[in-house]
């Protein structure tokens, strides 16, 4: 008897990732791949080859729930780990999350969870203290593969909402001071202005690594301290620097 998940609540994180990675073409082939993932079998397993076509078709017809995405909710606590307050995110954590989101946030969901879920303790003033970000996230990520997708899928929106909010507040940080046509055509800017524009383009190219380099005043020994600073504080500093450049 084949046991197949029949809802997102019964689908594990590793299964969800595999479902999103299906590349087989054709209705029958792709649906057979879905069934094999949801039952933890192989698509070329004898159990599928020996099954009556009517039974297989019936199983396929019951996959309508896959057309909906999992719930955007998530569990605040998983085992002894708690989701961090996203507003306390450190700059280094933000950089890592940006990397994993931009690369492929579905495939990287367990690693993203490993960054966002921490051990906690309460200090003598009853403040919640989060575990320092110095543990092995690859090892911790393994804890999330066998969880139901509905327990953690919402952390994607949790982070993206935070990023949308913070970047909308500081959107002008990433706007160039000069338009490209001002540089290429006849303009009133001198060589110093043009070099400033080129520097901004370089910042855009190298992203957060370049920002870190500049904030550290080109001193790599200061990197660790800057990476431990709250990302909101970093954005405030970038905003301040941008205003100075404009003036």
Among 82, 75, 177, 61, which Cα is nearest to 131's? Answer: 82
- Residue 196, pLDDT score: 53
Assess whether pLDDT exceeds 60 at residue 140: yes
Domain-embedded: residue 2: no
Q: Are residues 86 and 153 in the same domain?
A: yes
Give tens-digit pLDDT for 67-113.
Answer: 899 999 999 999 999 999 999 999 999 999 999 998 999 999 999 99
Boundary residue ending a domain (140, 159, 178): 159
The contacts of residue 71 (CB under 8 Å, 6+ apart) are 8, 150, 153, 154
pTM: 0.80
Domain-embedded: residue 241: yes
Q: Are residues 93 and 37 in the same domain?
A: no
Contact 117, 168 (CB under 8 A): no
Q: Are residues 82 and 153 in the same domain?
A: yes
Give tens-digit pLDDT for 173-208.
Answer: 665 544 444 434 445 545 655 555 555 554 454 477
User: In the chain, at which residue ranges do the beta strands (DSSP E only) sit?
Assistant: 77-78, 81-83, 117-118, 120-122, 128-130
Residue with tokens 């039974």: 55
Tell me the C-alpha distance between 182 and 194, whole Å. Answer: 9
What is the crossing angle of helices 109-116 and 155-169, to 10°?
Answer: 70
Predicted confidence band at 117 (pLDDT cuts at 50, 70, 90)?
A: very high
Q: Are residues 81 and 155 in the same domain?
A: yes
CA dihedral of 240, 245, 246, 247, whole degrees rounded to 10? 90
- Residue 80, pLDDT score: 92
Boundary residue ending a domain (159, 183, 201): 159
Host domain of residue 47 = 8-67
Domain-embedded: residue 164: no
Structural domains in the chain (count) = 3
Q: Are residues 61 and 13 in the same domain?
A: yes
- How large a percentage of the chain has pLDDT more than 90? 42
Q: What average pLDDT is seen over the chain?
A: 83
């Amino acid at each position: 008897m084949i046991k197949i998940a029949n809802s997102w609540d019964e689908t594990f994180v590793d299964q969800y990732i595999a479902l999103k990675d299906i590349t087989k073409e054709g209705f029958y082939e792709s649906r057979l791949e879905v069934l094999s993932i949801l039952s933890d079998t192989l698509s070329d397993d004898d159990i599928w080859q020996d099954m009556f076509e009517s039974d297989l078709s019936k199983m396929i017809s019951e996959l309508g729930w896959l057309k909906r995405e999992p719930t955007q909710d998530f569990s605040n606590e998983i085992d002894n780990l708690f989701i961090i307050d996203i507003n306390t995110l450190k700059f280094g954590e933000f950089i890592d999350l940006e990397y994993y989101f931009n690369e492929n946030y579905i495939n990287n969901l367990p690693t993203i969870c490993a960054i966002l879920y921490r051990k906690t303790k309460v200090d003598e003033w009853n403040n919640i203290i989060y575990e320092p970000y110095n543990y092995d996230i690859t090892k911790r990520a393994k804890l999330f593969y066998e969880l139901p997708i509905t327990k953690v899928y919402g952390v994607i929106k949790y982070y993206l909402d935070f990023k949308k909010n913070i970047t909308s507040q500081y959107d002008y940080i990433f706007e160039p001071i000069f338009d490209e046509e001002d540089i290429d055509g006849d303009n009133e800017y001198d060589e110093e202005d043009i070099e400033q524009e080129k520097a901004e383009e370089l910042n855009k190219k190298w992203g957060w690594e370049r920002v870190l380099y500049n904030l550290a005043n080109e001193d790599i020994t200061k990197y660790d301290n800057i990476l431990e600073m709250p990302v909101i504080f970093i954005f405030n500093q970038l905003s301040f620097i941008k205003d100075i450049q404009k003036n």
